[in-house]
Amino acid sequence: MIIKTAEYLISVPKVEMAPHSDRPEYAFIGRSNVGKSSLINMLTDHSKLALTSGRPGKTRMINYFNINKDWYLVDLPGYGYAQTGKQRRQNWRKMIEEYFLLRISMQCAFLLIDSGVPPQDIDIEFANWLGENQIPFVIVFTKTDKKKARQGDNHIRAFKQKLGEYWEQLPPCYLSSAETKRGREELLEFIESVNAN
């Protein structure tokens, strides 16, 4: 798919304030710092569309990007940021759970998993929550450009194995890098195929 236009639309603190659900949308979720905002920039070929940061906790709201004036990419705040207080964690949970449970135009979530670290319980828990609530999602293993490629492969294998302890069938899995643009064509093709249905 060709990205003709990619525009920032709006940031909202809760799903009730989101734009009308009149077109398909795809949400990016995962641990803080996993590369959600960077992947949105990579897919749209706009290096500064979504704000990124070396520090976790950059994205705080539900951010809408209007793509080809036809569908939305949605950048969500990440989970698992160690310095987050209890109140903020609760607010995050409410915002995210309501988003996924109420947003009828959400076609598919992209659950991002850092290929540079071994399986994290918090990621398995979040994947299980999506599965239990029948939220459609695919997994994207990020930062595959990082040096220790073989270790990355092991982490990916271990993550799939661990998730497989809970589910008979795993969701589709993709490999990505915001640096090398790995995965761009496959992910855009996937979105195109869902949009067409």
* Interface contacts to Mg ion, rule CB under 5 A: 36-37, 58-59
Q: Please, what is the minimum distance in Å from the beta carbon of residue 169 to ligand GTP?
A: 26
Least gap, CB of 106 to ligand GTP (angstroms): 18
Nearer to ligand GTP, 19 or 56 (CB): 56
d(CA 36, CA 139): 12
Two tokens, residue 63:
């951010």
Closest residue to ligand GTP: CB criterion:
78
Q: Which residues bind ligand GTP (CB under 6 A)?
A: 32-38, 52-54, 56-59, 77-78, 142-143, 145-146, 177-179
- Exposed (0-12), middle (13-18) or buried (19+): which is 125, by Cβ within 10 Å? exposed
Q: Which does 66 bind (CB under 5 to 8 A by kind): ligand GTP, Mg ion, none?
A: none
Contact 26, 71 (CB under 8 A): yes
Shortest distance in whole angstroms from residue 13 CB to ligand GTP: 15
Collapse the DSSP code of 69 into the 3-class scheme (helix H, G, I; strand E, B; otherwise coil) and give the result.
coil
* 3-class DSSP assignment, residue 73: strand
Smaller CB distance to ligand GTP: residue 55 or 69?
A: 55
Which lies closer to ligand GTP via its Cβ, residue 21 or residue 186?
A: 186
In this structure, are residues 17 and 63 in contact, taking their beta carbons and an 8 Å threshold? no
* Residue 6 Cβ vs ligand GTP, minimum distance, rounded to whole Å: 16
Q: Which stretches of the chain are DSSP H helices?
A: 36-44, 86-102, 121-132, 149-164, 184-196
Residue with Cβ nearer ligand GTP (37 or 107)? 37
116 versus 131: smaller Cβ distance to Mg ion: 116
Shortest approach of ligand GTP to residue 67 CB, angstroms?
17
| 121-132 helix and 149-164 helix, angle to the nearest 10 degrees | 40
